[in-house]
Amino acid sequence: MSLPLIVRQWLAFLNIYIQEGITYKAAGVIWILTDVSTAVTMPFVWIAASRGGEIAGYGAPDFVLYYLVMLFASTLISSHFMWEIGYEIREGVFTSHLIRPFSYLQFILARNLAWRVVRSALFLPWMVIFVVMFWQWLGGAQLYFGWQVWALILGGHLVSVLVVTALGLIAMFTGEIDSIFNLYYFPMLFLSGRLVPVDLMPEWVRTLAAWTPFYYQLDVPTRAIMGRMTEAQMLQALGGQLAWIVVAYAGYRLLWHYGRRVYTGVGM
């Protein structure tokens, strides 16, 4: 397949799914509000718990900054496409992907990029509101946005997309997929640092988190932006992300290979 053809395909995908995201923007707002609730409530919980002091090196300004940076990183990184994949497999819509002249993963990546554009546009007003709301704690904040941070954001995003894509393909083997998807969120919320900073967890939890893909999706980029990682630590984290990208892609290929043999397209 020639490069110009691939570019035209991607532009067509982006155009279609950006329009879809704009048309169904209410769904995007709901996803954003789900993330926003944590960013608004958790800083106050930790500020009250710290009682004007620090917890594991985090003071009140650090907690506020952490959850706002986490919200920013999540907007650029986190994917939840397993729900759409599971629905399309269950309803038989997935059948059309088996006969299209381009890879399913290419389709998912383009669709996800389009959604990322729409989500970022919907998220921006909320971020402005929260910065104003928490400004008394953010006045002296110093953020780092070197190339390592953007590489970590890209790596975390690829880990997230590949993991949820592989997870979604499990729907080809079982009809009871929603329970599996819901189960995914339990370790993700804790080991990614979305609910509680991983730095505040017991040593054994921090060690466990570092062996999971969730840690490399959000916790690592968030701490890098906050300036809480050295250059050596960021480079090591990039290596961890690369390892999980390889593992998740291998899982995707395996599920794609065997899943097509048992897929029945029951919704057709």
- Residue 28's pLDDT is what? 66
d(CA 11, CA 59): 45
| Beta-carbon count within 10 A of 132 CB | 9
Q: What's the pTM?
A: 0.88
- Residue 268's pLDDT is what? 45
Intervals of the chain under pLDDT 50: 268
> pLDDT by residue (tens digit) across 44-86?
888 888 777 788 788 888 888 999 999 899 889 988 888 888 8
- Residue 25's pLDDT is what? 63
